[in-house]
Amino acid sequence: MVSASVKGGAITAGNLRFYGNGSDVYLTYLGNENVKLEADFDSDGTMDSSKMTNLAALN
């Protein structure tokens, strides 16, 4: 699943879902370079881990 809003060449909103082998990771752009990372380690639909960070920390 990928959805994003772009204005003037910059991401203004959106989220990405990364499918793994029995797990999923979600990255949601919150604005002002901030993102939320969530992980569902057993793909049961319940987030097992959540962390707020910024885009620079993901480099």
Q: Tens digits of per-residue pLDDT, 18-39?
A: 888 889 999 998 888 899 999 9
Phi-psi region of 26 (alpha: psi -120 to 50; beta: other; left: phi over 0): beta
Q: What's the pTM value of the predicted model, to 2 decimals?
A: 0.75
Given a contact cutoff of 8 angstroms between Cβ atoms, the answer to whether 24 and 39 are in contact is yes
CA proximity to 56, closest of 34, 25, 28, 24: 34
Residue 14: its pLDDT value, please? Answer: 82
Within 1-59, residue ranges assigned H as helices are 55-58
Tokens of 25: 């990771």
Bigger pLDDT: 50 or 12?
Answer: 50
